[in-house]
Amino acid sequence: MSSLPTASGEDALEIGLRRIAASVERVLEALLDGAPAEGEIARPARLVAAMRHGALAGGKRLRPFLTVETARLLGAAEAGALRAGAAVELLHCYSLVHDDLPAMDDDDLRRGRPTVHKAYDEATAILAGDALLTLAFDVLADPATHPSGEVRIGLVRCLARASGLGGMVGGQMLDLAAEGRFETARQSLGKAEIRRLQAMKTGALLAASVEIGARLGGADGATLAVLADYGRALGATFQIADDILDVEADAAQMGKATAKDADRGKGTLIGVLGLDGAKRERDRLSAAAMDALAGFGLEADVLRAAARFAATRKS
């Protein structure tokens, strides 16, 4: 297996995360301006404010980082990659706004601030999520993101498949079913079922973040397949690490409520493998993500470091 990233790789990752997060923040600020875009009639001020509350709350911006860094690896222009990364982040933020609603996870805090439905109200939060979702595809379809219509269609399809019925939304439905929302009792999921649920709910969008960057860089089929292996392993690593943090971290550290998964009977690999077993699986998947990049040279060290970060992060 690949060795862990060197200190320089970790340093480059930290610098890159900060730089790309700041750049993506500027793109999001512009996209969420109150002035109507071409073809729009008006942007209601309360809706814009709620969207900005949900999308401009900071955070690591890991998903757009993966898009921009993968595009850079393959020689794509950063301006278009930042727009595509911002689109991925808009979609991710929509999912958080909706996940926090009382009908879903019923959370009051997100990144240390009141969730959108707490800061505004439930109806506004639903509409803000809807608008963030729609804006994500608007951005990907814009020629400013990439001059080729064929490439833009590929980006839209990739994000739609990762986030919709057979991806993130479908995974959320499986998660609710496992809690017993639609039956008289909670479902007991096996390891394979938990892996599928997590691959859909969390892993699909992380993997799509990598694929979108690869498509911007003109990756051929073989390169897309290699980077897809990396993205899937990284996404699985991230979700297991998140489950472990829900057990081990405190709310101040995470910026949201913790220790909720077990109470709700959510299907996690901790429940099947135990905490120590889940940590071993997390580390195995992180190493598998790094191994997937074996065909790349030092230029992929930051992506290798991202795989390690997914396993060792503290929030």
Residue 158: closest CA among 69, 91, 73, 230: 91
Q: Kindly report the average pLDDT of the chain as a whole number.
A: 92
**Domain annotation covers residue 234:** yes
Q: Is the pLDDT of residue 264 over 80?
A: no
Q: What is the pLDDT of residues 85-95, one digit of tens each?
A: 999 999 999 99
Q: Is the pLDDT of residue 254 over 80?
A: no
HSE of 58, CA atoms in CB hemisphere, 13 A: 6
HSE of 15, CA atoms in CB hemisphere, 13 A: 7
Parallel, antiparallel, or unpaired: how do β-strands 109-110 and 113-114 relate?
Answer: antiparallel
Q: What CATH number corresponds to the domain at position 237?
A: 1.10.600.10
Residues with Cβ within 8 Å of 222's Cβ and at least 6 positions away in sequence, in order, are: none
Q: Is the pLDDT of residue 209 over 60?
A: yes
Which of 65-69, 113-117, 217-221, 248-252 has the weakest average pLDDT? Answer: 248-252
- Position 1 confidence tier, pLDDT thresholds 50, 70, 90: very low
14-27: average pLDDT: 96
C-alpha distances out from residue 117 to 59, 113, 123, 183, Å:
19, 11, 8, 27
**Domain annotation covers residue 180:** yes
- Position 188 confidence tier, pLDDT thresholds 50, 70, 90: confident
**Domain annotation covers residue 1:** no
Identify whether the C-beta of residue 244 lies closer than 8 Å to the C-beta of residue 270.
yes
Q: What is the pLDDT of residues 109-147, one digit of tens each?
A: 998 899 999 999 999 999 999 999 999 999 999 999 999
**Domain annotation covers residue 192:** yes
- Position 7 confidence tier, pLDDT thresholds 50, 70, 90: very low
**Domain annotation covers residue 225:** yes
* Domain around 289: 7-312
The pLDDT > 70 percentage for the chain reads: 91
**Domain annotation covers residue 2:** no
**Domain annotation covers residue 167:** yes
Q: Indicate the pTM of the whole model.
A: 0.91
Total domains in the fold of the chain: 1
| CA angle, residues 26, 168, 229, in degrees to nearest 5 | 85
**Domain annotation covers residue 165:** yes
